[in-house]
A and B are shown apart, each in its own frame.
Chain A
Amino acid sequence: MIKFLNTLSIYILPLIITIILCYAIYKKTPAYENFIEGAKEGFSIAVKIIPYLVAIMVCTAMLRASGAIELLQNILKPLLDYFKIPVETTILMITRSLSGSATLGVLSDVINQTGANSYATKLAAVITGSSETTFYVASVYFGAVGIKKFRHALLAGILADITGLIAAVWICSVFFL
């Protein structure tokens, strides 16, 4: 089952791209021109996240160099070991509900620290890819229409975030350990 799903992971991108291209042919829309049009945005998105990446990567690099992460590591070690959670991913679990760009910075930092093929990197990638920043979404969407009483929206979002985290730790241990 896991093996099948792993294979599916590799085929899903070609599959989606094929469907998109075939539909473009069917609808007689110019695929190449539309590709170029959309691709132009790639540059601005990458450049836009630079300030966020700098902010969070400087923070985490300093934390590590100062020995603070080591301290945290020693305190949390028994708990994290029990659930097989690499200590590098703990900061990610906090930032991911607060800021998407900051989370990308932490992800890059985990990769830097543990290598591109480590379990920590895979777990961090799944956590990052499967979440949206709850507080940001709430402030943008409710702010846009002037809603001041959020009622249960934030609480439900946070509970779902926590469920997602637990699911990520579990699913990754099934797939990658």
Chain B
Amino acid sequence: MNYIFIFLILISFVCAIINGKVDIVVNEMLKSSQKAVEIAIGLIGIMAFWLGIVNIAKVSGLMNLFSNMIKKPLLLIFPDLKNNNEAISDIALNISANALGLTNAATPFGIKAMEDMQKENENKNQATNSMCTFLAINTAGFQIVPAVVLAILTASGMNNPAQIIIPTLIVTSIAFISALIFVKILERFFK
């Protein structure tokens, strides 16, 4: 990210000088930072609403119920964790929290799951198959409700932002399944 940041700014200055648009670029630079803050402030309401709703699910135990339901199917994906009940529970909680868009709540469960798996790891420097699988499905970012994106769309005045929910769900499911397939194929080649 560091190099991209530097590269983008320097490229802009170079192009601005070549195209003789330095004044416009400087003007845009100042104006857009203002705009960024306005967008962030616009997110507060919807984020607060969604995090409030999801917190009800968390405290009432609905999230735990959901994660208990997905534990069994998860064992098919993580055959190595048959005897590591703690790790499977944390992975289930991590996926449930992510699915609801609770990224902040999901991360501690994810780290906890990694620690549980690390306990049974023979080579502490190297990731196990289960760890790689867990990471790959996490990077696919499975989410039922993309709360932040909905917040941005609503703040920007889109008609009916909810229309993106199903397409997003389909795409994230495809990414999730492909992550599983890739990780299972690749684990044979990386010993």
Contacts and interface: CB of A to CB of B under 8 A. Distances in A.
A102 B1 contact: yes
A105 B5 CA distance: 13
Contacts, number: 372
Interface residues of B, number: 107
Contact of B172 (A26, A130, A140, A146): A130
Contacts of A130: 141, 143, 146, 168, 171-172, 175
B29 A61 contact: yes
A86 B1 CA distance: 23
Interface residues of A, number: 103
B29 A42 contact: no
Interface in A96-117: 98-99, 102, 104-105, 107-108, 111-112, 116-117
Given A12-B165, A138-B139, 4 more contacts: A23-B60, A23-B61, A62-B16, A142-B131
Interface of B: 1, 4-5, 8-9, 11-16, 18-19, 21, 24-25, 27-29, 31-33, 35-37, 39-41, 43-62, 65, 98, 104, 107, 110-111, 114-115, 117-118, 124-127, 131-132, 134-136, 138-141, 143-146, 148-150, 152-153, 156-168, 170-172, 174-176, 178-179, 182-183, 186-187, 189-190
Interface of A: 5-6, 8-10, 12-13, 16-17, 19-21, 23-24, 26-27, 29, 31, 34-43, 45-47, 49-50, 53-55, 57-68, 71, 94-95, 98-99, 102, 104-105, 107-108, 111-112, 116-117, 121-122, 125-134, 137-138, 140-142, 144-153, 155-157, 159-161, 163-164, 167-168, 171-172, 175-176
